[in-house]
Structure 1
Amino acid sequence: MWLLLAGFVLLVCGADAGPVIDFKTVPDFGKMYHVKGELSLPHSEIQEPFEAWYDLEGNRSRIDYRNGTVHTFLIGNDVDHGTIYKITPVTTETEIQAIKCYQLKGTKEDPIRPQAPLPDLQGFEFEKMENHTGVLCEVWKKVTQAGHKKNTYRLWVTRPEGNDSPATPHRFEMEGFNTLLESNNDKYTIDYSDFSPHTEADIFIPPLGMTCEKFPDPVEEHQILANPIQDYVSTSPISHAHRLFGPFKEKFNRQYENDKEHEERENYFIHSLRNVHSTNRAGLTYSVGINHFSDRSKAELARMTGGLLVPVKKHDVTK
């Protein structure tokens, strides 16, 4: 068996020869599929499992987080402009892990569409063939930049049956580099498994008999609360999380000395925000929130707390 890579075409020859793969054509995952995954946030030492169902033609999707602790339904043909439903345990000053239903309705300007747990590969280019966990994968790459933020995205995929069949995702990785700080200041990965181009229609039906309410304030966080994975599979260097840094600075009257400090503080804030939301999806007996320490580094927080890093709890009714 031998491999020849020329003109972006891979030929696999031998008794078990496979099809010719055109590397000018980005992988296609199909219009309907089911997949499991695990989001890894190295900065926060978090691994968050999820399971997703996607139906583009049916204009609907569902993503469950933390082994089914949190359920999100994005139903594009619900009501006028679609609705997002989130079923989640909530801990407050008076309740422990009470199961609540929240909803976010779409608008004419911003209708609800199904959320893919995989990145949109528009703008990606073939980079190389590489073994990943013992599987020979195509690696597709995209680089985006806005201001000082330069993000490199890579997706590892296989197409064992050729371009006419859905591709299988294996890993998605984002590495962020800040040109002002001259450092790699961000990274996260999503490892995929159990990909299947099939799903069941009833999986998209939210639980019946629940009264759903609007998402709690602040309004700026509604999109992240309703659709957590959107920021991770998007290839925009400016995410919803980045846009929340403005309200944070206003609320806590933050004024930084220069652009470099601003970039550093924004980066710490992004990591804090991700940590807060991922922790709150775990269904714990307490909830955590953003506070005036959220733009501080781990080293600064350790000094402030005498070396003891303790999450800032919004509610804890176990004491």
Structure 2
Amino acid sequence: MWACFFPVAVPASQRKVVPSPPDFGSSYHVKGVISLPYSEIKEPFEAWIDLAAKSSRIDYYHGKVSTYQLAAEEPWGVSYKIGSETTEIDKNVKRCFLVNGTKNETVTPQASLPDVQGFQFLRREYYKCSLCEVWQNVTTVGNKKNTYTLWVTRSDTGADGKETNTPLHYEMMGYNTLLGSHYDKYWVDYKEFSTHVDPKDFSLPEAMSCEGFPGPGVEHHMLANPMRDLIDTSASGHLHNMFSHFKEKFQRQYSDEIEHEKREKAFLHSLRFIHSTNRKGLSFSVGVNHFSDRTRSELGIMTGRRKWLGCLSLWV
């Protein structure tokens, strides 16, 4: 039975035919779990997308936070985030925030599955007892080599003449050649998948009024669409912009490029931990502070090995 839970290669005679890239259709509904091992996060999500309607929605932690990307709204589309907000004054108050698209950064529907057009077929193998096709994309940006791998099953053609392609697992492994080590790793396990969506899935709650995100705008796009930085294989620029803002705010100057890369890596995982924690709908919220570029081992020493919250500002 254990062989079912690890990739098992199929005979070479069954791997020779190169298939066409899987097609997940222009609309789908999917459930899954995001795993961020460096941040000790397992975050359930549920997503809907309809490209024809130019709409997408993703719920995190069973609906504690919902994000909408509604590209049909004039002139450049609108992103919405609905969730419980906790501040120094209020606790768990349901609020809606919005970010308007611009001419240079229009809002587009956010997929929860990768765009496989840039992927290459690797092989067929069994993954969790299902025979899968393995597709991979390798991109290099500066010192970072990112490898994205997707496991997908392909059904026989049905009576309607269409195949059903079902995603099972998506994995990212990031390697930094300057540091000589992996700087990032995460994966998504897909639990349910169907090509049916209801237009009502993209409607905002009735009587919900929305306002602009408070404070500086550098973090707004990540808050309104966190899935983009996990699924998109191209450099989005959000992390780079956030780290530049952090360095300027806290007057950070690093000794050399190696230290800069190490601090950026630590900041990435702190930021993910912060955002995921705030999506849980807890009685407190956390935020970036001057410890956010420190590694977990450094924070452990600084806090006497107490629980890792040293990178955060905490509102209870």
Superposed pair shares fold, TM > 0.5 = yes
Q: Distance in 2 between matches of 1:238 and 1:61?
A: 18
2:186 counterpart residue number: 188
* Higher helix residue share: 2
Q: Distance in 2 between matches of 1:109 and 1:94?
A: 36
Alignment of 1:136-285 (within 5 A): 136-162=131-157, 164-237=162-235, 239-285=237-283
Alignment of 1:43-62 (within 5 A): 43-62=38-57
Unaligned runs of 5+ residues in structure 2 are 1-10
Deviation, structure 1 residue 109:
2.5
Q: Distance in 2 between matches of 1:85 and 1:266?
A: 28
1:98 counterpart residue number: 93
1:84 counterpart residue number: 79
Asked if 2 retains the 8 angstrom alpha-carbon contact of 1:35 and 1:196, the reply is yes
1:117 aligns with 2:85: no
Q: Distance in 1 between matches of 2:217 and 2:134?
A: 38
1:29 aligns with 2:27: no
Deviation, structure 1 residue 200:
0.9
Deviation, structure 1 residue 193:
1.6
Q: Distance in 2 between matches of 1:242 and 1:80?
A: 27
Deviation, structure 1 residue 237:
4.7
Please, what is the CA RMSD of the aligned residues? 1.7
Deviation, structure 1 residue 169:
0.5
Unaligned runs of 5+ residues in structure 1 are 10-21
Asked if 1 retains the 8 angstrom alpha-carbon contact of 2:30 and 2:194, the reply is yes
Aligned amino acid, residue 36 of structure 1: K
Q: Distance in 1 between matches of 2:37 and 2:184?
A: 9
Q: Distance in 1 between matches of 2:45 and 2:70?
A: 19
Percent identity of equivalent pairs: 50
Q: Distance in 1 between matches of 2:241 and 2:77?
A: 24
Aligned amino acid, residue 107 of structure 1: T
TM-score (norm 2): 0.91
Q: Distance in 1 between matches of 2:250 and 2:137?
A: 36
1:301 aligns with 2:296: no
| SS at structure 1 position matched to 2:240 | helix
TM-score (norm 1): 0.91
Q: Distance in 2 between matches of 1:202 and 1:188?
A: 31
Q: Distance in 2 between matches of 1:104 and 1:131?
A: 42
For these two proteins, the number of residue pairs brought into alignment is: 302
Deviation, structure 1 residue 38:
0.5
